[in-house]
Copies of this chain bind each other. A is one copy, B any other.
Amino acid sequence: MIIAVDAMGGDHGASAVCPGAIEACRTNPGLEIALIGDKAVIAPYLDKADAGVQRRITVVHTDEMVDPDEPPTKAIRSKKHSSMRMAMEMVRSGEAQGCVSSGSTGAIVAGGVLVVGRLKGIERPGLGILLPTKKPVFLLDAGATVRCKPLNLVQFALMGSIYMKDVEKLTPTPRVCLLSNGSEEIKGDDVIVEARERLRQTDAINFGGYVEANRVPQGDADVVVCDGFSGNVMLKSFEGLIKFCKGLVMDTIHESLLAKAGAALLYPSMKKLAARVDYNKYGGSALMGVNGAVVKAHGRSKAPAIANAIGVAAGFVERGALERIKTDIAEELVRSGSGTTLR
Most chain B CB neighbours (cut-off 10 Å) among A215, A217, A233, A234: A233
Given A216-B240, A259-B265, A276-B248, A182 and B232 contact (CB-CB distance below 8 Å): yes
A252 interface residue (CB < 8 Å to B) = yes
Let me know if B213 and A233 touch, CB within 8 A.
Answer: yes
A236 interface residue (CB < 8 Å to B) = yes
User: A186 vs B68: C-alpha distance in the bound complex, in angstroms?
Assistant: 9
Let me know if A269 and B252 touch, CB within 8 A.
Answer: yes
User: A268 vs B188: C-alpha distance in the bound complex, in angstroms?
Assistant: 42
Query: Size class of A's contact patch?
Result: 35 or more
Question: A213-227 interface mask toward B, CB cutoff 8 Å, 1 = contact, 0 = none?
Answer: 111111000000000
Identify A277's interface contact among B215, B230, B248, CB under 8 A.
B248
Let me know if A217 and B233 touch, CB within 8 A.
Answer: no
A284 interface residue (CB < 8 Å to B) = no
Given A146-B181, A181-B228, A248-B276, A256 and B236 contact (CB-CB distance below 8 Å): no
Closest Cβ–Cβ distance, residue A140 to chain B (whole Å): 15
Closest Cβ–Cβ distance, residue A187 to chain B (whole Å): 8
Let me know if A266 and B259 touch, CB within 8 A.
Answer: yes
Closest Cβ–Cβ distance, residue A153 to chain B (whole Å): 14
Closest Cβ–Cβ distance, residue A265 to chain B (whole Å): 3
A51 interface residue (CB < 8 Å to B) = no
A258 interface residue (CB < 8 Å to B) = yes
Closest Cβ–Cβ distance, residue A89 to chain B (whole Å): 23
Let me know if A217 and B244 touch, CB within 8 A.
Answer: yes
User: Which A residues from 165 to 183 make CB contacts under 8 A with B?
Assistant: 179, 181-182
User: A215 vs B231: C-alpha distance in the bound complex, in angstroms?
Assistant: 16
A185 interface residue (CB < 8 Å to B) = yes
Identify A216's interface contact among B212, B232, B237, CB under 8 A.
B237
Given A242-B241, A266-B262, A69 and B182 contact (CB-CB distance below 8 Å): no
Given A241-B237, A269-B252, A229 and B277 contact (CB-CB distance below 8 Å): no
A to B CB contacts below 8 Å, 11 in the list? A69-B186, A143-B181, A147-B189, A213-B234, A213-B240, A214-B243, A230-B233, A249-B273, A252-B266, A256-B268, A262-B269
Closest 4 CB pairs of A and B: A262-B265, A214-B240, A262-B266, A217-B244
A residues in contact (CB < 8 Å) with B: 68-72, 104-106, 133-134, 143, 146-147, 179, 181-182, 184-189, 212-218, 228-230, 232-245, 247-249, 252-253, 255-256, 258-259, 261-270, 272-273, 276-277
For the complex with contacts A182-B232, A213-B236, 17 further pairs of A-B residues with Cβ separation under 8 Å are A106-B187, A134-B247, A143-B181, A146-B181, A146-B188, A147-B189, A181-B233, A212-B236, A215-B240, A229-B230, A230-B233, A252-B270, A253-B269, A261-B262, A262-B265, A262-B269, A265-B265
